[in-house]
Amino acid sequence: MFLPPDLASIREFRRALRQSLEENTFISKDIQQIELAADEALTNSISANYNSSSEETIICRWIVNNSKFTLWIVDYGSGLKKEKIEEQITEAKPSSLQDFLKRVKTYQEGKCEVLPNRGKLTQHRNLGKGLLIMQSLMDSVKIMYHCKEGRISSDPTDSSIRGSIIELAFDSKKH
């Protein structure tokens, strides 16, 4: 699926993703988890493209094989910085949903971003917790970078980064 870097793309993406998962007999609870994690990944990619002044198409591709789902989202932003990844990984997991929501609200109060929505710039509450949400919902989250000369790197300090590749994996038999 090829999507413009615009928040309006999320609706089309979710519709196609849901249909694919339903056709492959995923249960509603699993579909909701996958949709939320995928939504977070795509929103991050839209933000990355926009903040890097890139109008390149975002590529979303997924495979369903029995109970296993894998999604790749390729953007042309600057990529997640090493410090941001480490900060998210080392952050203590919330003890309850209330604790998580409290953290999100506190973080969100000081952060708002302007992103395109149907071609117009609009205020968007960027939580900054997308990676944590994805890691909580999926079995595996990998962040890679596509670089000049077609190389793939896992080093976020690589100076030839042209964008990110986010890989999400989910196995419904584990849930």
Break the chain into its structural domains and give their ranges: 2-171
Q: What share of the chain is helix, strand, coil (3-state, %, to 5)?
A: 45, 25, 30
| Distance separating alpha carbons of residues 109 and 34, to the nearest angstrom | 26
DSSP assignment, residue 94? P
Architecture of domain 2-171: 2-Layer Sandwich (3.30)
* Predicted confidence (pLDDT) at residue 167 exceeds the cutoff of 90: yes
- pLDDT of 125 reads 66
* Predicted confidence (pLDDT) at residue 158 exceeds the cutoff of 90: no
Identity of residue 46: I
Q: Encode pLDDT of 100-139 as tens digits.
A: 677 766 665 666 677 889 888 887 766 567 888 899 899 9
* Predicted confidence (pLDDT) at residue 94 exceeds the cutoff of 80: no
